[in-house]
Chains A and B, each alone.
Chain A
């Protein structure tokens, strides 16, 4: 017995390369997915607690990749998933308690977790050289990724989850802001020309269709939906800037001399809400718009009854997914970009890194090295492929030219929400740092970005839409993306407490007054608008504008 045991031990130790780190009795599995340094191995199981802000669902209990993580790395993840709507309370509670999970995946634009001392500074840990993938990831953009606020020491605290590009950016789907319109509306109008779009023509298309089709599958058809739910009120407030040909800078427009100014009370805003007010009176705008929570809004889109809305593509992704998995492609949306006379559309921008979202390691974690090692491994090419494409042979094939392809069944699977819950770690991947762009073998980071795959995933109906417009991707429906200004985007500049407070007051003024203006009697438009402008005058807007301008100047100087 003793002999057998010691023989086993000897076998183990001799298997592992003694040079490679602390390998006392660590069995390292074969293959690319294993951790060669022996920190994370199945023989030394690790449980990592993970807190994630995402709209994605938690993985199913029998999830394939969960099992793979356990088999290859011995890692078990314990998820706590919080939807963006509920995140504020949760952050407050966590900060008050001072106890955090090992890994924090946050989209907290106000950086409360960081300023509250929840996040570990990562630069020093990276400097040890134990985390090569993460080190490469941040190499070029570490200044951008680093926190440069006032409350805590400057430095790298989280790894941004999107748009750190490797190779060439590729892609077929458009996730940015747009005025969306259902494909059936365009079909009914005989695939009208979409260039030089204006608000008038956009609403005309919707109006004509609505007149002919007051019912959608038994429910009343809704012309235009306005998203005003708390935390997503930008659905209602951002359009004026886009209509005026300015890229999405949040609440401000930045002029050519890099000076930021709010536009909420300016004429470009007034013109938009006047149109919306008229359309509301005409019965085009959903009367329930302003009482909808985000969930109710997505549910409404998922019924297919809504002809159009302004939103960011990623925001209603779940509705698109469920329409597609139900085979109702005519109810999904095409992005349009109406502008005011004389303005050039700048809806699509070069994908920018959103530096205050992503994964960090918590200060109360007992195993920060393991947690960081886990992030490092997840960022390795083999794991990135598993996370975004799936398992080779099961979810995709490698062609003779080395390019990844999928069969129709595999494509259908990847659209199926239930299948994805068991075969993808979407909640984790959402906040995880990614290899956006291309892998070293030339494949795109995700199937959706692989040009051949993208076109092949399109349903027959979607191909008809593409053919009608002579395009290959949804991205081609948008404007060509000019080079981003150096400071861009202004909406993720970290603000001081005072500026945050003013920003919140502005948001509140919008959320309170804009619905009244839109839903009000058109005859009262001017007085309602005046009341709104007066409310804004009472707010110390300058504090906010100054903070944004200071942020812009700092970025111009340092980035």
Chain B
């Protein structure tokens, strides 16, 4: 059962914290210790012998390490911009005027302070709603698909639901804006609602601030539903069939089996995915608010990234953009850390 999350982590592009799974290929391996890991292992010493013995493994890790350092750690020097009055024309980043924490104070309390606090709320709201709706939707679809015994039908369903994942957000956003427009402009949602007699007058969805978070969550659900389901379906296939057989012998029906075997079986997957995704909460949701947002609904539509684009890049105020970026990173670390801690407390699978 623990196989699923481990594979998953590799599949999502994050390297597992411990040694690669292919360790069996290492020459003259020491006796297998990993599987028999006691709960609290005393710290093992890294000796030259050990390094020598695992040199191939270490070599294999080098490219990935380089990649991480080059693309994740090196760019961090750019954070210096946050403490400067940065102007690209002055040339080097070290050739700028230093202003200390002025930019931070400006962002949180200055003329834009109120607005920045609002966009943080919008970002959190849209992301959490999207995450919850997306996760619940994907789990439900995975459970349902798992029960389908007609293979061709199952495959067709899976294909249809995951196709939209490959569309770019620009296309998805313009599809959404057409779908939500007036019937005369091709708004089939309004047309449908009117035909069903649910509304008398077409609703201008994109002018109602209260609808926007829902629109974002709904559109993301449509786009990513099938894609997110794949991971859960994979996790379900790893569940030992004998559990189902035993349950059947005990007289469990479909719902019982779903509730007592399938769901607990994919629980580690759900938890790990939630932890990973919690780190993205402040980073997602640029495209839809940017393409669908307009003046009327900007109080609920504008997210951090849109704000940064408007007041940072568009005005050439790069320092402000970097300050917002640092803020996002810090919040992301806190979120992942606390989600991980919460999972540990609840005795769940954790990321680290």
Contacts and interface: CB of A to CB of B under 8 A. Distances in A.
A501 B315 contact: yes
Contacts of A220: 184
A272 B318 CA distance: 37
B315 A110 contact: yes
Interface string A256-298: 0000000000000000000000000000000110110100100
Secondary structure of the A contact surface, majority rule: helix
Interface string A500-531: 11001100101111111001000000000000
B111 A500 contact: no
A115 B182 contact: no
A40 to B, nearest CB: 30
A228 interface: yes
A276 to B, nearest CB: 15
Contact of B206 (A230, A291, A504): A291
A116 B177 contact: no
A290 B207 CA distance: 8
B182 A288 contact: yes
Interface stretch (A14-22, A63-71, A87-95, A548-556): A87-95
Nearest to B85: A497
B316 interface: yes
Of the candidates B111, B291, B309, B314, the one having the most CB atoms from chain A within 10 angstroms of its own CB is: B314
B89 A115 contact: yes
A115 B291 CA distance: 28
A115 B184 contact: no
B89 A288 contact: no
Interface in A98-147: 98, 110, 112, 115-117
Interface string B164-181: 000000000000010001
A95 B321 CA distance: 14
A501 B295 contact: no
Contacts of A61: none
A104 to B, nearest CB: 14
B87 interface: yes
Contacts of A89: 309, 313
Given A219-B184, A519-B296, A117 B207 contact: no
A287 B205 CA distance: 11
Nearest to A514: B295
B88 A95 contact: yes
Contacts of B311: 501, 504
B29 interface: no
Interface string B311-346: 101111110000000000000000000000000000
Contacts of B310: 504, 508
B111 A505 contact: yes
A115 B111 CA distance: 24
B299 interface: yes
Q: Chain B interface residue count: which class?
A: 20 to 34
Nearest to A112: B316
Contacts of B313: 88-89, 91-92
B185 interface: yes
B294 interface: yes
A293 B112 CA distance: 26
Contacts of B90: 117
Nearest to B310: A504
Nearest to A111: B316
Nearest to A512: B295
A504 B204 CA distance: 27
A291 B88 contact: no
Contacts of A229: 294
B91 interface: yes
A519 B87 contact: no
Contacts of A95: 88, 316
Contacts of A112: 316
B298 interface: yes
B207 A511 contact: no
Contacts of A88: 309, 313-314
A147 to B, nearest CB: 12
Given A291-B206, A512-B298, A152 B89 contact: yes
A116 B317 contact: no
B111 A228 contact: no
A200 interface: no
15 contacts: A88-B313, A92-B318, A96-B88, A110-B315, A115-B88, A287-B204, A290-B207, A291-B204, A501-B111, A501-B311, A504-B310, A504-B315, A508-B310, A515-B207, A515-B294
Which 9 pairs across A and B sit closest by C-beta, in order of nearness? Answer: A511-B295, A92-B313, A116-B88, A117-B89, A291-B206, A112-B316, A88-B314, A515-B296, A512-B295
Interface of B: 87-91, 111-112, 177, 181-182, 184-185, 204, 206-207, 291, 294-296, 298-299, 309-311, 313-318
Interface of A: 88-89, 91-92, 95-96, 98, 110, 112, 115-117, 151-152, 219-220, 228-230, 233, 287-288, 290-291, 293, 296, 497, 500-501, 504-505, 508, 510-516, 519, 539-540
